[in-house]
Amino acid sequence: MRGPGPDTGLRAADLHSSLSDPLLDVMNFLNEVTLRYPDAVSFGPGRPYDGFFEVDRISTYLDTYTRYLEQDLGRTPEEVRTALFQYGRTNGQIHELVARTIAQDEDIHTDPSGIVITVGCQEAMVLVLRALLADPDDVLLVTDPGYVGITGAARLLGAETVPVPEDGAGLDLDALRSTLAAVRARGKRPRALYVIPDFSNPSGTSMPTPKRHELLDLAAEEDLLLLEDNPYGFFSRTGERRPTLKSLDSRHRVIYFGSFAKTCFPGARVGYVLADQPVTGDDGRRTLLADELSKIKSMVTVNTPALAQAVIGGMLVAHDCRLRDANKDLIDFYRGNMEALLGALARHLPQDRWQVRWNVPDGGFFLVLTLPFAADNALLEESARDYGVIWTPMSSFYLGAGGEHQIRLSASYLTPDQIEEGVRRLASHLTRRMGQG
């Protein structure tokens, strides 16, 4: 008989296979590694900067939201109490505010009924993958390197993920076409492709505008859905702004994931998904994909905390549903940080002297360094312990082989001084290693 005896507890081998997948440790590792070396400068997690945040504002935003409910929507005090106290609408209560915000900020015009407010963008990914990955033949395509959250969610559902290589300008579309053919040749159905077109995590690359149009055409030809994730879109370094896939999507090919973790704050855990695809039942009845996601959400978190929605809702109301304007200081801050990181790297690791290379992202939180030797967990441990600097091995973000000589640097929540000091320490470690080699 399998299973534990009466007193011996459980065996790991008897738990779901996803739990022994190293992938599921990556995100915990990213969140918690900084705790192990509190004095190190950490280029590890992509945490938002919290210097502009004041705890007192939470109550102010709550007040703003309750005033909005009373004055703008004409709710009675009892209805306001119910909105904050009770279980609520499964797909959320701030969907109209979110629709106004993405219309103004992203030129995405949609009926609010297509929006599902979720517990962070992560829950949105779980809902969408659960709906789309209907049987064992359905596979999810993801950019490689890619975001661990999407691959991890697929693992939980026991679904296969297939990597599609990035090039220096986002996705490699030729590789996408040949991957699709290869997947179909195995009798599998490529259901959707996950992509971060702007300042991708982990690579920092972006997709040029013409390639976005090309990708949308390809999706229509190949009967593929695109899962567009846009957590970093505001944070352009160069000032250039490219259209989201969703704003160009006239054929309902794009499911759009948004998050307030970076533009408001992560502690609210409020994200959303715009899933305005029509769904036709066997009986001809039509719904939206968002309505189908609602059924799943009712069995995952029931609804997104009213409290968290109220604070984010209050922030949206306070800023007239224009988060891009509200984030002006933060956009400047992240731009300055990325410039500081690029500058410090050029000073401390001059490319005419050392064999270290890096990309020059147009924005976002992340940059990739390529070393002349392996960038593994052992090197990271040494770096943290002996040099007081933390980063993430890029190999963590590849589905198969890849990134063995690369590290990801995140400069999102440091100050320029910390960035300078961190790069100095990193350079000291790497140049000593290269001097030894």
- The one among 3, 38, 74, 168 contacting a copy of itself by CB under 8 A: 3
Largest CA distance in the chain: 73
- The one among 115, 142, 289, 369 contacting a copy of itself by CB under 8 A: 289
Two tokens, residue 384? 């943290």
Closest approach of a copy of itself to the CB of residue 135, in Å: 8
Footprint on residues 87-126 left by a copy of itself (CB under 8 A): 87-90, 119-120, 122-123, 126
Pattern 139-168, a copy of itself, x by CB under 8 A: ----------x--xx-xxxx----------
Q: Contact between 251 and a copy of itself (CB under 8 A)?
A: yes
Q: Contact between 281 and a copy of itself (CB under 8 A)?
A: yes
Footprint on residues 22-41 left by a copy of itself (CB under 8 A): 24-25, 27-28, 31-32
CA-based radius of gyration for the chain: 23
- The one among 111, 221, 329, 332 contacting a copy of itself by CB under 8 A: 221
Paired strand residues for 271: 118, 259
Q: Contact between 202 and a copy of itself (CB under 8 A)?
A: no
Helix (H) or strand (E) holding 100: helix 95-106
Paired strand residues for 228: 195, 256
Closest approach of a copy of itself to the CB of residue 349, in Å: 30
Give the total of residues touching a copy of itself (CB under 8 A). 101
Q: Contact between 277 and a copy of itself (CB under 8 A)?
A: yes
Euclidean distance between CA atoms 32 and 30, whole angstroms: 6
Which of 79-87, 105-113, 399-407, 427-435 is the region at the interface with a copy of itself (rule: CB under 8 A)?
Answer: 79-87
Pattern 292-311, a copy of itself, x by CB under 8 A: x-xxx-xxxxxxxxxxx--x
Euclidean distance between CA atoms 318 and 315, whole angstroms: 5
Q: Contact between 186 and a copy of itself (CB under 8 A)?
A: no
Q: Contact between 82 and a copy of itself (CB under 8 A)?
A: yes
Burial class, 13, CB count within 10 angstroms (exposed 0-12 / middle 13-18 / buried 19+): exposed
Which of 78-86, 102-110, 334-342, 375-383 is the region at the interface with a copy of itself (rule: CB under 8 A)?
Answer: 78-86
Burial class, 23, CB count within 10 angstroms (exposed 0-12 / middle 13-18 / buried 19+): middle
Task: For strands 225-229 and 254-259, give the pairing.
Answer: parallel
* Residue 272 identity (one-letter amino acid): Y
DSSP per position, 384-396? HHHH-EE-EEGGG
**Contact indicator for 33, 25 with CB cutoff of 8 Å:** no
Euclidean distance between CA atoms 220 and 236, whole angstroms: 29
Closest approach of a copy of itself to the CB of residue 303, in Å: 7
- The one among 98, 132, 218, 389 contacting a copy of itself by CB under 8 A: 132
Closest approach of a copy of itself to the CB of residue 80, in Å: 6
Give the single-character DSSP code of 114.
G
